[in-house]
Structure 1
């Protein structure tokens, strides 16, 4: 979201208390609404401020400041933000909480005996073009008094927990989870589904208190982690489109599908559609970036995750992105909407990212003014404008015949349908979600799920000589950046965490280690520049926990130019390792940090990602052996000089680009080693799917599979292997299934057609005690082996494929699959728009 308009992840999130009087309903420590009336007076109490608002016929909302005694009157229910020492309220008889109440209940759109389509048709017919302009606006669609339609707040961010809100009066705060890069490393997506379920229920709990939040989330992010320099890698499930699709589907199913099968629990909004992975790099920002992407890369990398989620999980929301794609802004491109709706069956609403419609003319200069940008957005299929471009220009666009009212009606229908699915137009029909109480917010079982996710995300890259786990009761030195910072371990899009508004309820990594080191002594040095103190503490210690961190080096609106460890931290690491004590390096990261020489010098390396509110405990438990790490890397770790070999603004995934298209600079470097496990031709520091354990495992066929021949897309087969814990402690292992095309056998592919090195088609995580075994089975459908052609079509071609089952290291089980079709079979057709 554009930084100037962002509903900021508040540094101070305070306690929300609700009170009601005959005239007003009020909340403490929160600002609600825009000050459209520009009317302020000095009064002694919030009650007197309520009286002033009630006496003003235009006032629906007020905010009273306890320090200045200022009363501000408002008539716009816009954004809500936390603020200490203020009280905001709404006038009870002027604020419509639910549609279809009172006089409006007689309208056909309130008749539950009619079909939803008929009800929508009636509702949309009653919305004037002037009102439609503000109905199609986010963050808030305005209240329409004459038909009894309440305001609706869009887009509560919930990447890994509810944001844009405040804690409740009794001190309950929404449950916060590890950041998505760590969640993805669990390769246990039932946990992601559980997170979605908890977020969905907490959204309902807040909504049921009549707090100013909606029931749709602008989450999850399913853009692949294309390049380690991207500032938002912390939000991405990883570099694999397959994994991004699995993650997005799990989140969607958990959040949308609750106990009441007649209604949707809450609504996801997948983001950012599409080919979005540039923030601000080399004087090119996301607002004007034109992503030049070949037909091949679109169908092979940038589309598949979206297609999987839309087809299999039925998300009800999509967010289009800031960038242009091959010359056309994504939020104004009907061809992209056709893929979603016509090809994949999407039936939800589409919103712009914050001010993306404005960007069409102001940043991309695709149009000359905002009225034309409004036309492009509506005709391109963007239903909701997160900004004011539609609100300010929609009437003009209709009046000038640039867009027909039918396009406006389509956008209204798509956006209202979501609210019908949620049951918001059926206030007299009790659904299971109406009974979700505030008691569920941040409850202990949800916190346990968050802690479990943090434990499962721990990823061990190196453990020479069984350095880990450390023994408790010893002298332990905790050294390094972010080692005693609660905020640094939380990730981005952090919602309300602690009732105090600070992060005092979050245990830091140092505090977690100190608490777990029972009977021992734990010391701290978190000043990277103070190398002398760090050396002394390391010399005095029996064991050292050495943290490295890239916190603050990247984020939304900020890409990295260097992916290694900064010079100051490298000097600290070198000095501490030189002391020679048993040392475990703990990486706290958004995008991975290239370890370079540290990989060889370190004894033990644990990747903790951004482990969240329970990260301090999870890391400490892992360091001392109470938790056995079982995570796997969802991305490839390249050496830091990778940035010299690959142009960040080049969207190609292959070693050599398919088409020599021009980028924003008018030129393009098509050479390089490629990106991701699918195309990288170099030697990674650590590969995708890599991760060790404190125990040992063995993988064997059961039984060895015969060669399988597929003669049509209707065929499928299965591969089964036995996983055995051959060590002395319990642990988790993840088994991955890949296929590797033998490119020379794909003789009907066009000359020069790219072929991936390998592609994942399944993974399973299992938990086993010492000596225990279990079987894992993977299904392979013939259509999974289809290849993307140069012109973007997905086709099944005759050829040979090696099947691999692997734990990410160690033994690799192999088999053979053959496709034998008379001629290539077309499975999907690419439609070029440029």
Structure 2
């Protein structure tokens, strides 16, 4: 082998040795420059520029044409690890192929999103896989393994998990704090990240915008305490865009940007995504922090070393040895087939009274109706479509175009002002017939943002517009040519957008009724907040003076030419069967920066399925959406109901194949579908245990349970066996396809605690004593997924399924002892087709030592380690570490309960480490005390307060907090001491 003049160029050396050598050759300024997202070249050493961050959630995003796979929540609905791994490989190969075409494409991919789908109103639910940590982990491991590749040394791409940690709200997302108790932290939120990191296919994580327990995620001590202890790999932490500045600008957590930057770097952030491609702001802050002694060179070196290790793993310095350097797999036949397979496997059959499958046959006509019937929707993290298949396209192809009727169901309207009818002038040179080419690709000449097209006018010639109400009064207006009314930077309203889209959507409006009139409306443009005014030079929402005000808005009359429900009823009555396709546009009412307000289907779409069903009882409702809906009436009244996430480029073909019976559906719900908004906790309530969230704890009856999904075949479960073998729980069973077509079944294994093990020695009891064992059953999951397997079986075929589950999966986080624990006792293993459709139950006995009561007499207790709470929140003890508990409102008392507190042979009092001002009350088995706390001097100014209380034995202890008190710890005053 040829000698290499510089060690960092020598592929015979380890990446760590090469990174150290290269690090030693960089100047201080060169090292600092590498900490920004856009690291410049170092020409004197032959280093090229490097960019962290390439979006690849379900295909290569933002970089032009690429294969578009189903949304992430749709991948979760497949419950198919192998399929998702193959999709990861395809996406990784397309990243490599596009990198060869365009050096702006980065190999450090920011995907997947593993935030759990705790709350169905979260606007970014489409980006996650599941509400369950085990399913999310399995899908994430599969996707990252595909993205990473299987070469032992070089990586295809370097995946970064998003978004650390407990991030489920867009409302106030950069200032809201998620209050996460230790059990929820360890059993739920951390688990979603842990398995993927341990699997060795993750290059790093991205912290979320929000705060957790009062501390911004970008200075989270959990990055060091947990994340980096799960692996020996040098994980890179990439900040979210603009988040470093938020620490000062919106969160006001630090006084200066130098302090904030230094704290982020020390907490573990390695790459700063801020101020776009302009790196000078962030590098200037780092230099200033260094000059002020807030950081030292070693802090910078640690971060740069991690970034260099990633670059070495991506083959940057060994192009001749990089096995992925020549990959050119973009839009291959295999990728197109994989997109179709994924779209098929993501379809969930929610209900079927025998109407499906709908076999194509002579004389059968199908009416395809609904606002999404002829739509192939993309989301913010999609690539540009190379191929496009809508439900209408797929059904026409499968059933024959001559047998398919169509009505979109839009309301067709005309608007009139005092100057005449709203008119869309013809665009010189604009293509007639819409904005899509033969393959469905977008015509760039007709994209939003153009300023060379004529704006709307008012005159004698009306333009008929298709009005779609997406819910909450959010409207889009579209011409017959398929162009949406949109607003460009100059403030004029034009028909210029193929679809709603963009970071700020410019295609949405709201009609506001004018007081004192019967049918007068103002038209508000939601993207700018300006009202539409039609002047001599055309319609606009802003001018040189700023946004058009409400008082200056043009008043319009609305004339409805045709109600969409009437058109739907007409074609429904003329068909053998009706397929209604409803759902959402991923850019409207639920997306990044915007949470949903309700589970309800928008009223206009609700009217459409009802009109179709009234005209034709053979009506199928297909929900194509990024999230669940509460559609109880549809579930009760319609013979068939399906759901699919937006399925990418092959969505329509896949749906048609499922409807026709070419494919037996086997998608399963990755999250609970609740019956109504009344079933939901507050969006910002992250205590899934206390507020009974997700299938793990929900006590009500869902509309459709987690894991639910039907098919066209019947499966029998038999011969469930369990065995505890050391640290492994072995589970085996047999599944048989008893009838119907060849089909997939998704076997789901759950576990729940059944009861404590019998002990030879009775436990020492005391007043209020809870016997050792499995704890309060209210606090344990009703059932918890521990394994799943998607299998394909021919008619009459059977498959033996064997799984190994770590015994630790039967455990929970013990707040009494501050560790993961598996209590001895009997556990039930449940095998079934969903969390509610359990076919077989077996038991397993786990032996071991019961944890016993809290050792308060010897160890005290952390305030955050409560068993139950009401009206409290968890906040930061200091800006670098620790938690405290405070009242959620200074005007209301918050309460905490600590079960089975062992005060030993006796204590004479309690010590409270607290800050703030207010009161602390304690109640223990009839004894009580009250402390008034003077102002300690600020939230981080802690003092110790003592109170006399004679206690012995085991008791339940209640603590009340009022005012601005922040309680950190409770310790005892031994009986040999007197209280101060």
TM-score tier, shorter chain, comes to 0.7 to 0.9
Q: Does 1:393 align with 2:275?
A: no
Query: Could you say which residue in structure 2 is the equivalent of 1:538?
Result: 572
Alignment counterpart, residue 136 of structure 1, candidates 25, 30, 35 = 35
**How has the CA–CA distance of structure 1 residues 343 and 780 changed in structure 2, closer, same or farther, with 3 Å as cutoff?**
closer
Q: Is the 8 A contact 2:742 2:792 kept in 1?
A: yes
Q: Which residue of 2 aligns with 1:627?
A: 663
Quick one: distance in 2 between partners of 1:533 and 1:109?
Answer: 69
Distance (Å, rounded) in 1 between the aligned partners of 2:754 and 2:352: 35
Query: Comparing 519-528 with 536-545, which one deviates more in the overlay?
Result: 519-528
The residue that corresponds to 1:146 in the other structure is: 44
**Distance across 2 between alignment mates of 1:684 and 1:823:** 35
Deviation at 1:249, TM superposition (A): 0.5
Residue 526 of structure 1 corresponds to 408
Match of 1:441 among 326, 330, 334: 330
Q: Which residue of 2 aligns with 1:42?
A: none
Question: 2:785 is paired with a residue of what secondary structure?
Answer: strand
Task: Tell me the residue number matched to 1:496.
Answer: 384
Find out whether 1:252 has 2:144 as its counterpart: yes
Deviation of residue 475 (structure 1)? 1.6
CA distance in structure 2 between the aligned counterparts of 1:494 and 1:709, rounded to whole angstroms: 45
Q: Which secondary structure state, in structure 2, belongs to the residue aligned with residue 800 of structure 1? A: strand
1:70 is matched with which residue? none
Equivalent in the alignment of 1:366: 253
CA contact (8 A) 2:409 2:608 kept: no
Structure 1 unpaired stretches of 5+: 1-100, 167-172, 499-504, 657-671
Segment of structure 1 superposing worse, 793-802 or 114-123: 114-123
2:367 counterpart residue number: 477
Q: Residues 194 and 254 of structure 1 are in contact (CA less than 8 Å); yes or no, is this contact kept in structure 2?
A: yes
Of 557, 560, 563 in structure 1, the residue corresponding to residue 593 of structure 2 is 557
CA deviations on 1:361-394 (whole Å, 9 max, x unpaired) are 1121110121111101100100001114532311
Find the counterpart in structure 1 of residue 223 from structure 2: 336
The correspondence for 2:654, drawn from 602, 618, 633, is 618
Deviations 1:302-334 (A, max 9, x none): 011211111123411211111111111111123
Taking the TM superposition and a 5 Å limit, the aligned residue runs for 1:772-811 are: 772-790=797-815, 793-808=819-834, 810=837
Displacement of 1:519 in angstroms is 7.1
How many residue pairs get aligned? The number is 683
Preserved CA contact (<8 Å) 1:350 1:381? yes
- The secondary structure found in structure 2 opposite 1:376 is helix
The Cα shift of 1:408 comes to 0.4
Aligned counterparts of 1:763 and 1:292: Cα–Cα separation in 2: 31
The answer to whether the Cα contact below 8 Å between 1:753 and 1:789 also exists between their aligned partners in 2 is no
How many angstroms does 1:709 deviate by? 5.9
Q: Name the counterpart of 2:210.
A: 323
- Provide the rounded CA distance (Å) in 1 between the counterparts of 2:181 and 2:700: 23
* Pick aligned residue for 1:452 from 335, 341, 345: 341
- Asked whether 1:695 is paired with 2:695, we answer no
Distance 1:210 1:617, change over 3 A: closer
Q: 1:58 corresponds to which residue?
A: none
* Aligned counterparts of 1:149 and 1:249: Cα–Cα separation in 2: 32
> CA offset at residue 347 of structure 1?
2.4
1:383–1:623 distance in 2 versus 1, CA, 3 Å: same
Q: Is the 8 A contact 2:159 2:201 kept in 1?
A: no
CA–CA distance in structure 2, aligned partners of residues 105 and 509 of structure 1:
58
Retained in 2: the 8 A contact 1:340–1:346? no
CA contact (8 A) 2:717 2:734 kept: yes
Distance verdict in 2 for CA 1:523–1:210, change over 3 Å: closer
List per-residue Cα deviations over 1:332-372 (Å, max 9, x = no partner): 12333331112454522110111111111112111012111
| Deviation of the 1:491 alpha carbon | 4.0
Matched residue of 1:137: which SS? coil
Matched, 1:682 2:700: yes
2: CA distance, partners of 1:512 / 1:766: 26
Deviation at 1:592, TM superposition (A): 0.9
Instruction: Report the equivalent of 1:271.
Output: 162
Structure 2 match to 1:300: 187
Greater fraction strand: 2
SS at match of 2:841: strand
Output aligned runs, 1:62-73, within 5 Å.
Answer: none
C-alpha spacing 1:455/1:363, structure 2 compared with 1 (3 Å): same
Pick from 219, 225, 240 the counterpart of residue 353 of structure 1: 240
Structure 2 match to 1:591: 627
- Matches of 2:778 and 2:580, distance apart in 1: 46
Aligned partners of 2:355 and 2:618 also within 8 Å: no
- TM-score between both structures, scaled by the size of structure 1: 0.79
Matched position secondary structure for 1:347 = coil
SS of the residue corresponding to residue 405 of structure 2 reads strand
Secondary structure at 1:433's aligned position in 2? coil
Which residue of structure 2 lines up, in the alignment, with residue 508 of structure 1?
390
Cα distance in 2 for residues equivalent to 1:370 and 1:127? 25
**1-structure distance, mates of 2:852, 2:649:** 50
Q: Is the 1:311–1:346 contact (alpha carbons within 8 Å) kept by the matching residues of 2? A: no
Contact 1:291 1:325 in 2 (8 A): yes
Distance verdict in 2 for CA 1:436–1:452, change over 3 Å: same
Indicate the SS of the match to 1:623: helix
Over 3 Å counting, the alpha-carbon distance change for 1:463 and 1:366 in structure 2 is same
Q: What's the counterpart of residue 14 of structure 1?
A: none
The structure whose Rg is larger is 2
Matched with 2:645 is 609
Q: Secondary structure at the match of 1:705?
A: strand
- Is the CA contact 1:307–1:344 (under 8 Å) kept in the aligned structure 2? no
More helix by share: 1
- In the alignment, the residues of structure 2 paired with residue 610 and residue 292 of structure 1 have an alpha-carbon distance, to the nearest angstrom, of 32
Comparing 459-468 with 236-245, greater Cα deviation is found at 459-468
Offset of residue 520 of structure 1: 4.5
Cα displacement string for residues 174-223 of structure 1 (whole angstroms, at most 9, x for unaligned residues): 22211111111111111110011111122222233453222110000011
Mean Cα displacement is larger for which, 740-749 or 142-151? 740-749
Say whether 1:771 aligns with 2:806: no
Contact 2:53 2:110 survives alignment (8 Å):
yes
SS at match of 2:141: helix
Where 2:238 maps in the other structure, the secondary structure is strand
In 1, the alpha carbon distance for the partners of 2:255 and 2:195 equals 37
> Does the 8 Å CA contact 1:709/1:820 hold for their aligned counterparts?
no
Q: CA deviation at 1:137?
A: 1.1
Structure 2 CA distance for partners of 1:124 and 1:604, relative to 1, 3 Å: same
SS of structure 2 residue aligned to 1:724 = strand
Question: Structure 1 residues 115, 344: CA separation in 2 closer, same or farther (over 3 Å shift)?
Answer: closer
1:448-468 per-position Cα deviation (integer Å, ceiling 9, x unaligned): 011101111111011113343
Instruction: Return the TM-score normalized by structure 2.
Output: 0.67
Tell me how far 1:687 sits from its aligned partner. 0.3
Question: Residues 369, 189 of structure 1: CA spacing in aligned structure 2 closer, same or farther, 3 A cutoff?
Answer: same
Contact 2:123–2:596 (CA<8 Å) still a contact in 1? yes
Asked whether 1:651 is paired with 2:699, we answer: no
SS in 2 for 1:420: helix
Aligned equivalents of 2:215 and 2:674: distance in 1? 32
User: How has the CA–CA distance of structure 1 residues 577 and 747 changed in structure 2, closer, same or farther, with 3 Å as cutoff?
Assistant: farther
Distance in 1 between the 2:838 and 2:264 partners? 52
1:233 aligns to what? 125
| 165, 169, 173: which one aligns with 2:63 | 165
User: Is the counterpart of residue 432 in structure 1 residue 323 in structure 2?
Assistant: yes
Aligned partner of 1:180 among 36, 59, 72: 72
